[in-house]
Structure 1
Amino acid sequence: MESFQWKHPYQFDPAFSKRVAYFSMEFAIHQPLKTYAGGLGFLAGSHMRSAYALRQNMVGISILWKYGYYDQIRKGDQTMNVLFQEKVYGFLQKTNIRFTIQVNHSQVQVTAYYLPPEVFGTAPIFFLSTDLPENDYLAQTISHMLYDANMEAKIAAGILLGVGGARLLEILGYEPDIYHLNEAHALPLAFYLYHRFKKLEEVKKRLVFTTHTPEEAGNQKTDIFLLERMSYFYHLPLAEVKQLTGHSGDIFNHTQAALHVAKICNGVSDMHGEVSRQMWKFTKGICPIIHITNAQNAAYWADKGLYEALENDDDEALVRRKKELKKILFEEVADQTGEIYDENICTIVWARRFAGYKRADLLLQDFDRFHAFITNQDMPVQLIWAGKPYPMDYPAISTFDRIVHITKKYSNCAILSGYEMKLSRMLKQGADIWLNTPRLTHEASGTSGMTAAMNGAINMSTQDGWIPEFAKHLHNSFVLPAADTRLPVHEQDAIDNKNLMQRLEQEIVPMYYRQGKQWLEIQKNSMREILPSFDSDRMAKEYYEKVYTYEASSVF
């Protein structure tokens, strides 16, 4: 069998010469590669695109999910169903590399697939797989489904990503200066490095950590004895594991552990950085927590026609191009739902991962008011929902299905399935208003609104995640007043619903029809001001400047 010879495939910029291995459970690179579930993957994909554009000395490490996340399909009554379908990728190179890792006291064979930079314009990325005939079926399933509901499968995937990724880099001869954990999924890497270098200081010199968790309850916690049985700690005695990671009990907090073994951690927005510092301020022995606000790759996401019109100060061309993009989206709406939408009507889109705190149904809280709003003939609107719940999140699936039944009653309401990169682009290009409704302090960053702004959609949002760093009400966005987070959740939701409907009815939709010039100015301000601050080129540079080159004496 011919051996796979590899060296970093492009000449890197001397400013970014430090060797970085970026570990992420998911990457959203391009529609044909189904290795992502949501925002974490979209962020990682944009990071890899910018790393390539800036010629950074970086390599991505992930897992090749045989069945992807899942395919969102419909049942006979149009409600949601889940399909796990095998994916085939002819554009990935087989490396024929073979090595073993230990999972649950068994040796598991691992191989790797390679995505060269020129295929989609990214830094080089390797995808690990255990789907090999040499493995038994249980071992093969480790790389079958992204975020498998089975706890042991999740633990095994973390071992594959962390330990398998480190082993692969050794075989390739790529010795990273920095190992970057994009979330704590690949945490077994830290224990592998400790076993290799024998000193925590040597691990800390090399390990950095990005947290995406905005509240303590969201941090993954696992029975420490289950982790030990699964070989999560790479042969380390439990007493030593607890000492290294600041644990005293038998419940292992993955984020807390990462904060103890990394040299620096970053949150993913200004607000999230502060929330994280407050969350962990009483925990001793953890690394500093800063923030680097998430961003998206403008070269990939932004519509060139819209920006050409903006740069030429050609308002007519901008309006015309936006209507062309709306028509493209509306063809998809017609194909999926049988509804014909009008490009001259104000179109509101809510599209992202379906999760309870994101509140896809916030518009529907006062249904009588919603009905009056959606049936207003003087100032009509068109609504589109889209998004994938986690396949075992039955409350979120129930919300999706409820919206399905509601949209059947209104010809100007639709809910689309198959929310992946292609549909995401169409929705952002076709939206007039990009609706973002997370309950305050629950959204670490959020990035869909960034790419919406790059496509002439105006953000309408609660003041959470990245929004406070960008949005100025009636200048580049529409911003909801902040609800009091000390109130019970149902009261916060009622207040946000009231403010949302009031803004839409009395301010925003009337502006669309009666003050077109003001609307256009807000739209143009949004397009101008989203760049360069929320382009991932800025973000990728900041990681080198603030995280990868961080030393203990650095001041932020």
Structure 2
Amino acid sequence: YAQIWRVQVGRIPLYLLDANVPQNPPHLREITSQPYPDDRRQRLIQEMLLGIGGMRALRKLGIDPTIVHMNEGHSAFAGLERIRVLREEQELTFDEALLLVMASNVFTTHTSVPAGIDLFDPGLIERFFSPYLPSLGITLEALLGLGRRDPKNQSEPFCMNILAQKLSGNINAVSRLHRKISQRLWHDLWPRIPEEDVPINYVTNGVHVPSWVSQEMAETYTRYLGPNWSEDPDNVRLWNRAMEIPDEELWGVHERRRGRLVAFCRRRLRDQLLRRGAPTKEVEMATEVLNPDALTIVWARRMVTYKRPLLIFRDLDRLARILDNPERPVQIIMAGKAHPNDLEGKRLIKEIISIIKEDPFRQHVVFIEDYDMDVARYLVQGADIWLNTPRRPDEACGTSGMKAVFNGALHFSTLDGWWDEAFNPRVGWAIGRGEVYKDHEYQDDVESHAFYTLMENEIIPLFYKRGPDGIPREWVAKMKAAMKELGPLYNTNFMIQRYMEDYYLRAHSYLKDLTAEGKEGIEELAAWYRRVSKEWKGLKVVKVEQESPPELEVGDQLKVRALVDLGTLRPEDVRVDLYYGPLDPFGKMKRREIHPMELMGKEGELYVFAASLPCSESGRFAYYCRVTPHHRRLIPTHYSLGLLVTWG
């Protein structure tokens, strides 16, 4: 049993499931008491409640969504529940219901790190899902196969992310770089196509600007961007007006927020020391820590190894010289939490505290405990520099820096997550140039050196380059440039618009076409897919011929034809493409283009397909003939398009 809580978040109702009800025995009442438990049994029950229970809760509330968006693999069982309902209510086979669910499921993967992906022992799946299998109409082996890279590998654990991808026809990552990492991570689900063709696109995360912008900054935006700026934050013309904010006014707002951040940190630090029973003298010193006029750098996020909070402490002498400069003072505020069972995360916090409690760091570096949304607001609203140090490419997106930018902070980060696509020298700074190292120690040395060098040679001089009025005009110009260029792109309005146009509406349109004739369209597609899957092994590309000379000039036509043995398949069952592109010095395609080949007729038992395209640039090129299944109702990202592929 579970009870449903409704939270009204602005105009949006948020429904929460709670297992702490009298009808449940004690061990089940605890299911929703803690997220991410180590107990795999409890974790599996949580995800059953989220996916299966979540869909049943919506039905109880009279909500029957056309499109279901599953975020991360935790919710993947929702797809199975949708299949069960379709089988029960529309009397579909599992294969038919699967096609319908795939057409209307959107799945977003949020992690770049394999350790962040839920895996379950097959025995645990068998124990909890055996009673559920008859309603799905499949065997245990078939269910386990849906959660495996290799369905035939009996020892492979059951992966929730794989299940979600196999139940979804629309898959995306959460940044441009994360898309590439996800394509690499999940390439073996589509093993017969190149990595860059894996059908995972991306929608970069964004932040809800009104939730994070300070009251003073919001009032400034109202004056210069217009009274409706918060309703239209993805409007490019609106953010162009940021350039019209007077330097004096923008800098004044920012300095006041920095002063409030310093006051907040002093209060929190004093409370932390009192809780620990620190000596009176040490508690009194907390009221003088930090400088409200100093360049303030903030590092705040989850304490995990790949985020590298210790990177800035690799050369303590050099860091001390940067911080302890009476003419150009610099200070660092750190905050973060480790998972209760993450011993390495706790070690990182302990090491940071051991460093900063000693001179000369104790007056210039503080660590704020109990990091939460309230703490985060003070930090993003008062920082001059928002520092992020993840080891590329482990940060899927990261949004804390976006929140800071809307408050006038400048972002300083390795080229990972969102910063890989957002960075340019006008809006912030980058540590490194996007290199990836096998030797992590060497990488940390190189990138910590880059951090110190940029601080010494660019960031600190720019911040303290003041005119007679004390305003750092060039720094303020950079703040405005960041607002103007990043503002329209990294907010939730723009993000939701991308989801709506690229995923929800397309999926809805496809689903509408698939069900236009009731069950007939689904039954016909499922029967076609079974036939093509069975007969595909008889297909062969016998020969690919270039009808034009081997060397061509720009403007000439490249003419290629392919002889294809379709076996028992029909021409309308397949799509034949010319897959071509320029080569790099190592003989690998730098990019690829896909040009359809037309059916020209038959030569004996072989079908002839041909293509002609103009040569628009010079260099070495390669091309292939690619044959894939084709049906007007087949989902373009169906995983069969990575399995049923023949090349020539």
Deviation at 1:339, TM superposition (A): 4.4
Q: Which residue of 2 aligns with 1:301?
A: 212
Q: Which residue of 2 aligns with 1:26?
A: none
One-letter amino acid of the counterpart of residue 222, structure 1 = F
Q: Which residue of 2 aligns with 1:432?
A: 384
Say whether 1:504 aligns with 2:455.
Answer: yes
Deviation at 1:244, TM superposition (A): 3.6
Say whether 1:493 aligns with 2:452.
Answer: no
Q: Which residue of 2 aligns with 1:514?
A: 465
Deviation at 1:487, TM superposition (A): 2.8
Paired residues for 1:514-553 under 5 Å? 514=465, 516-548=472-504, 549-550=506-507, 551=510
Deviation at 1:255, TM superposition (A): 1.3
Paired residues for 1:202-241 under 5 Å? 202-231=100-129, 234-235=132-133, 237-241=139-143
Paired residues for 1:186-201 under 5 Å? 186-197=75-86, 198=94, 199-201=97-99
Q: Is the CA contact 1:188–1:233 (under 8 Å) kept in the aligned structure 2?
A: no
Deviation at 1:407, TM superposition (A): 2.2
Paired residues for 1:8-157 under 5 Å? 109-116=1-8, 120-157=9-46
Q: Distance in 2 between matches of 1:201 and 1:219?
A: 25
Deviation at 1:186, TM superposition (A): 1.2
User: Deviation digits for residues 301-320 of structure 1, max 9, x if unmatched?
Assistant: 23314534646521111111
Paired residues for 1:55-454 under 5 Å? 109-116=1-8, 120-197=9-86, 198=94, 199-231=97-129, 234-235=132-133, 237-246=139-148, 247-249=151-153, 250=155, 251-284=157-190, 288-302=199-213, 303-307=217-221, 308=223, 310=242, 312-337=244-269, 338-340=286-288, 341-409=290-358, 410-454=362-406
Structure 2, unaligned runs of 5 or more: 87-93, 225-241, 270-285, 467-471, 511-633, 638-648
Deviation at 1:232, TM superposition (A): 8.7
Q: Distance in 2 between matches of 1:423 and 1:413?
A: 16
Q: Is the CA contact 1:306–1:322 (under 8 Å) kept in the aligned structure 2?
A: no
User: Deviation digits for residues 55-97 of structure 1, max 9, x if unmatched?
Assistant: xxxxxxxxxxxxxxxxxxxxxxxxxxxxxxxxxxxxxxxxxxx
Bigger radius of gyration among the two = 2
One-letter amino acid of the counterpart of residue 544, structure 1 = M
Deviation at 1:243, TM superposition (A): 4.0
Say whether 1:478 aligns with 2:367.
Answer: no
Q: Distance in 2 between matches of 1:543 and 1:527?
A: 23
Tell me the SS of whatever aligns to 1:282.
Answer: helix
Deviation at 1:202, TM superposition (A): 1.9
Check 1:423–1:306 CA distance in 2 against 1; reply closer, same or farther (3 A cut). farther
Deviation at 1:545, TM superposition (A): 1.0
Structure 1, unaligned runs of 5 or more: 1-108
Deviation at 1:453, TM superposition (A): 0.2
Deviation at 1:553, TM superposition (A): 6.2
Give me the TM-score of the superposition, normalised by structure 1. Answer: 0.76
Deviation at 1:151, TM superposition (A): 1.6
User: Deviation digits for residues 136-164 of structure 1, max 9, x if unmatched?
Assistant: 11100111011122221111110111111
Tell me the SS of whatever aligns to 1:485.
Answer: coil
Deviation at 1:483, TM superposition (A): 5.7
Greater alpha carbon shift after TM alignment, 546-555 vs 352-361: 546-555
Deviation at 1:373, TM superposition (A): 2.1
One-letter amino acid of the counterpart of residue 507, structure 1 = E
Greater alpha carbon shift after TM alignment, 126-135 vs 399-408: 399-408
Q: 4+ residue runs of structure 1 moved beyond 6 angstroms? A: none
Deviation at 1:242, TM superposition (A): 3.2
Deviation at 1:123, TM superposition (A): 1.6
Q: Distance in 1 between matches of 2:404 and 2:112?
A: 23
Q: Is the CA contact 1:242–1:248 (under 8 Å) kept in the aligned structure 2?
A: no
Identity of aligned residues (%): 30
Q: Distance in 1 between matches of 2:219 and 2:458?
A: 29
Check 1:256–1:233 CA distance in 2 against 1; reply closer, same or farther (3 A cut). farther
Deviation at 1:482, TM superposition (A): 2.8
Deviation at 1:233, TM superposition (A): 8.7
